[in-house]
């Protein structure tokens, strides 16, 4: 089978959907993004808020996207056309496609770093007990070589395009079903190593001791944004996944499983990074390079450390790939479904356009001296921190006020699922989630401009 979205299939089983959706959700957001955001936002308070945001906003919005997808059996733009014909709501789908471009443009650069670090691990660069300073220097040197960063980014783009072009189900899905559990085991082993380093308890305290005096609007915003990003919400990726779901599936249970897995992996990544960070006596700085600087210092302390490094960056590349294909799939399926492009043309041209957009981010380290700011951090701020929340806000408004919670709740419970859960969900989606998203966005924007 080649093109699996032009002939609309359904997932073979509920567990198949859960694994595919969890594979799309689990990626750099959990392993790179979560620790970096936690470090930036002061640790425990952020982590507590993050889990809260996942439970009371992320989970309901995920169910909202799933119901939109399954009810319409369409990717985002077409979904809104079908559920709200003759309105402007399809623009929300178009915004999702645009956000997809923005996120792709920096996501693939971070994934490129992962590829670059895989090369380093294979070359044996982490051998002989790298100190924290040496590791930081290594990362800075890596960053200031734009030609190399662009090359590894291009390699990653190419891999993403090749997968999406060939259809997703037979290749990547089968591969990730095997490799994601391996990644999980590896994370557990590295976390145990990290937790048994001298001085590691400081790291646990940092991660779990919630000091709510550190709460600022930007911490709240970051926690919300991270929850949305990690669950792939706010731009229609989950609408697309839901559109392949059979009416027999219990959406609430499937959604809960995806949310549970994703959160588990994020917390595990925190347990891998922070104890090692504090053991090395380094202050946690909210920097996009965090994971790349900390981990190389502990590989050498593991038996067969170099192999660990190779395995880790390889699996992280795979995890990033299963996520980046879901981003490119949203973009490509728009051009295929709504503009009648061939899959081949959509994947190559949009992949290439995205690659061009990613070049300033890939050069961010080298450009920083010229621009006076880090271009990639700017992209992360715009797309990751703000626009996903805007997208999620409008998805809540659509389900709660336009499509209506009666129709949506009927879809939600179609394959089983309790009525009372649906009622609670309807209240959250109609009132609570949009209000939270609007307040958080409003306060943050006010602060930005005031």
Q: Would you say 391 or 415 has its CB closer to ligand TRP?
A: 391
Closer residue to ligand TRP, CB minimum distance, 76 or 203:
76
Residues 6+ apart with CB under 8 A from 157: 108, 351, 354, 355, 358
Q: Which one of residues 232, 333, 358, 361 is an interface residue with ligand TRP (CB under 6 A)? A: 232
Q: With CB under 6 A as the contact rule, which of the stretches 19-27, 72-80, 270-278, 404-412 interacts with ligand TRP?
A: 19-27
Rounded CA-CA distance 294/277 in Å is 6
Residue with smaller CB distance to ligand TRP, 75 or 230: 230
Q: Give 404's contacts (C-beta < 8 A, 6+ positions apart).
A: none
Residue 197 CB, nearest approach to ligand TRP (Å): 27
- Nearer Cβ to ligand TRP (130/233): 233
Cβ distance to ligand TRP smaller for residue 110 or 219: 110
**Residue from 229, 241, 278, 314 that binds ligand TRP (CB under 6 A)?**
229
Q: Does 191 bind ligand TRP (CB under 6 A)?
A: no
Residue placing its CB nearer to ligand TRP in the complex, 288 or 326: 326
Q: Which is nearer to ligand TRP, 363 or 385 (by Cβ)?
A: 385
Q: How many CA atoms lie within 13 A of 325 on its CB side?
A: 26
Told to check if 112 binds ligand TRP by CB under 6 A, we report no
CB 207 within 8 A of CB 47: yes
**Could you say whether residue 194 binds ligand TRP (CB under 6 A)?**
no
Site string for ligand TRP, 312-351 (x = CB under 6 A): -----------x--xx------------------------
How many beta carbons lie within 10 A of that of residue 243, not counting itself? 25
Among residues 126 and 384, whose Cβ is nearest to ligand TRP?
A: 384
Q: Smallest gap, in angstroms, from Cβ of residue 406 to ligand TRP?
A: 28
CA distance 32 to 114: 10
Out of 14, 23, 27, 35, name the contact with ligand TRP by CB under 6 A: 27
CB of 265 to ligand TRP, least distance (A): 9
Instruction: Count the neighbouring beta carbons within 10 Å of the beta carbon of residue 154.
Output: 17
Q: Which of residues 359-388 bind ligand TRP (CB under 6 A)?
A: 388
Q: Is 219 in the site for ligand TRP (CB under 6 A)?
A: no
Which lies closer to ligand TRP via its Cβ, residue 195 or residue 257?
Answer: 257
Nearest-5° angle of CA 156, CA 162, CA 165? 135
CB of 215 to ligand TRP, least distance (A): 24
Using the rule CB under 6 A, give the single segment among 24-32, 123-131, 373-381, 440-448 that binds ligand TRP.
Answer: 24-32
Please, which residue, 126 or 156, has the CB nearer to ligand TRP? 156
Window of 11-19, 23-31, 77-85, 153-161 that interacts with ligand TRP by CB under 6 A:
23-31
- Give the Cα separation of 282 and 186 in Å (integer): 24
Candidates 54-62, 210-218, 227-235, 440-448: pick the segment binding ligand TRP (CB under 6 A).
Answer: 227-235
Considering only residues 28 to 67 of the shown chain, the ones binding ligand TRP according to CB under 6 A are 28-30
Q: At closest approach, how far in Å is the CB of 179 from ligand TRP?
A: 15
Cβ-contact 80, 243 below 8 angstroms? no
Binding span for ligand TRP by CB under 6 A among 26-34, 75-83, 151-159, 349-357: 26-34
Of all residues in the shown chain, the one whose CB is closest to ligand TRP is 29
**Measured from the CB atom, is 27 or 284 closer to ligand TRP?**
27
Distance of alpha carbon 252 from alpha carbon 294, whole angstroms:
37
Smallest gap, in angstroms, from Cβ of residue 220 to ligand TRP? 19
Which residues in this chain contact ligand TRP in the complex, by CB under 6 A? 24-25, 27-30, 103, 229-230, 232, 235, 237, 323, 326-327, 388
């Amino acid at each position: 089978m080649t093109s699996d979205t032009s002939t609309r299939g359904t997932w073979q089983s509920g567990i198949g959907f859960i694994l595919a959706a969890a594979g799309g959700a689990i990626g750099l957001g959990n392993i790179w993004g979560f620790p970096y955001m936690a470090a930036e936002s002061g640790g425990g308070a952020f982590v507590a808020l993050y889990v809260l945001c996942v439970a009371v906003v992320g989970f309901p919005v995920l169910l909202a996207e799933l119901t939109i997808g399954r009810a319409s059996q369409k990717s985002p733009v077409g979904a809104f056309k079908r559920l709200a014909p003759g309105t402007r709501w399809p623009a929300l789908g178009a915004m999702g496609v645009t956000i997809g471009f923005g996120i792709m443009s920096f996501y693939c650069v971070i994934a490129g770093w992962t590829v670059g670090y895989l090369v380093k691990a294979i070359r044996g660069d982490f051998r002989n007990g790298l100190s924290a300073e040496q590791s930081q220097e290594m990362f800075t040197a890596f960053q200031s070589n734009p030609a190399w960063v662009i090359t590894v980014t291009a390699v990653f783009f190419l891999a993403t395009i090749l997968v999406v072009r060939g259809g997703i189900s037979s290749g990547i899905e089968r591969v990730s079903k095997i490799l994601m559990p391996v990644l999980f085991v590896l994370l557990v082993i590295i976390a145990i190593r990290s937790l048994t380093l001298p001085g590691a308890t400081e790291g646990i305290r940092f991660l779990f001791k919630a000091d709510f005096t550190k709460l600022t609007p930007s911490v709240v915003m970051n926690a919300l944004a991270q929850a949305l990003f990690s669950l792939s919400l706010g731009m229609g990726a989950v609408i697309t996944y839901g559109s392949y779901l059979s009416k027999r599936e219990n959406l609430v249970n499937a959604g809960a499983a995806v949310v549970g897995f994703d959160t588990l992996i994020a917390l595990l990544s925190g347990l891998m990074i922070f104890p090692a960070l504090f053991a090395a006596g380094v202050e946690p700085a909210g920097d996009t390079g965090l994971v790349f600087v900390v981990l190389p210092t502990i590989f050498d302390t593991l038996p067969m450390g170099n192999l660990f490094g190779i395995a880790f960056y390889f699996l992280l590349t795979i995890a990033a790939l299963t996520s980046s294909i879901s981003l490119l799939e949203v973009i490509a399926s728009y051009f295929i479904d709504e503009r009648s492009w061939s899959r081949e043309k959509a994947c190559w041209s949009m992949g290439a356009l995205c690659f061009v957009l990613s070049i300033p981010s890939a050069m961010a380290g080298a450009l920083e001296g010229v621009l006076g700011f880090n271009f990639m951090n700017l992209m992360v701020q715009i797309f990751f921190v703000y626009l996903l929340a805007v997208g999620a806000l409008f998805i809540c408004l659509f389900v709660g006020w336009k499509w209506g919670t009666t129709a949506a709740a009927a879809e939600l419970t179609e394959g089983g699922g309790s009525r009372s859960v649906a009622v609670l969900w309807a209240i959250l989606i109609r009132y609570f989630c949009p209000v939270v998203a609007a307040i958080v966005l409003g306060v943050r924007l006010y602060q930005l401009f005031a």
